[in-house]
Amino acid sequence: MPNIVEPKLIAGNSNLPLANSIARRMSMHRGMTVDLVNARVERFNDGEIFVEVFENVRGEDMFIIQSTSNPANDNLMELLIIADALRRSSAQRVTAVIPYFGYARQDRRTKARTPISAKLVANMLVEAGIARVLTMDLHAAQIQGFFDIPVDNLYASPIFALDIKNQFKDSMGDLMVVSPDVGGVARARELAKRIDAPLAIVDKRREKPGEVAEMTVIGEVAGKKCIIVDDMVDTAGTLCKAADLLMSNGATEVHAYISHGVLSGPAVDRVSKSVMKSLVITDSIAATPAVQGCKNIRILPTAPMFAQAILNIWNGTSVSSLFETETLEPIYEGFFKG
């Protein structure tokens, strides 16, 4: 009789703390130890990536945990090469767990003679032998359609809702959810619905990419504690300007809940000097020492959600059940009390 196929985890170098946390949470959920597969992901002197898996993975259900964050190209190549190594080692199925999916901002042709890099990355993942993708808060939901394999896109909003209800339990009636642009209204509306709060929008006009010429608030934010919701914060310039605008329009406090803390360049310095009382991000991208040392940045864990999603994929049960706050509450019981 063949052995029962167990889920096995392997990780690249992009976010080892998260990979280890997912393994620990899976161990708790299953009541048995789940460790990362013993492997090495190294580089030759010229920067070429080399992968060697030290355990037998023939016939196994493999999950590669790897965010394609900075350095995006190196981490993407690590993911592709690990997948190729597992496929050539006769793994039964290879699932890419990509908490932060890089190149997602290039999802369409905005000008003549520009690429659709998100589609290119999707093609590369499929060609490398990946059979399924598990990610969180894609920058553009239509990227799921770039793949000819199943893609499960989790959402950070249920985790944010739990945290907001815990942090603002005495002032829920004063909250106002704010979308930082018109394109993010659906995401902001989803969180506003979860916490039963009104919605406002910051409308911005750009003269050129990366530079905001004018910003206007649509909605009445005076006397409200504003919560800005977005999927990504990069240099934090627009986010900090939006916080200033909300305060100048009478908001009492400004907080931000952002799924992916890219936080490149001057971002951390800007956030530390901003009028925002807090910036809450997830651990989908490994935090730098500067991020960890910033007093007004908090990091929420995604390991409980990803661990349960991996187990659901492995045993063939619903992943979309994790979209509901009621499903995540027992999983996050130790993090949010009351």
Catalytic positions: 204
Beta-carbon contacts of residue 335 (< 8 Å; ≥ 6 apart): 162, 300, 301, 304
**Residue pair 104/117 in contact by the 8 Å Cβ criterion:** no
Indicate the Cα dihedral angle 297, 75, 95, 134, nearest 10°.
Answer: 30
Burial 156-179, CB ≥16 within 10 A → b, else e: bbbbbbbbbbeebeeeeeebbbbb
Straight-line distance from the first to the last Cα atom of the chain, in angstroms, rounded to the nearest whole number: 48
Question: Tokens at residue 116, please?
Answer: 């659709």
Shortest CA distance to 224 belongs to which of 189, 199, 259? 199
Q: How far is it, in rounded angstroms, from Cα 324 to Cα 157? A: 9
**Residue pair 260/285 in contact by the 8 Å Cβ criterion:** yes
Query: Coil, strand, or helix at residue 224?
Result: coil
Shortest CA distance to 128 belongs to which of 82, 166, 61? 82
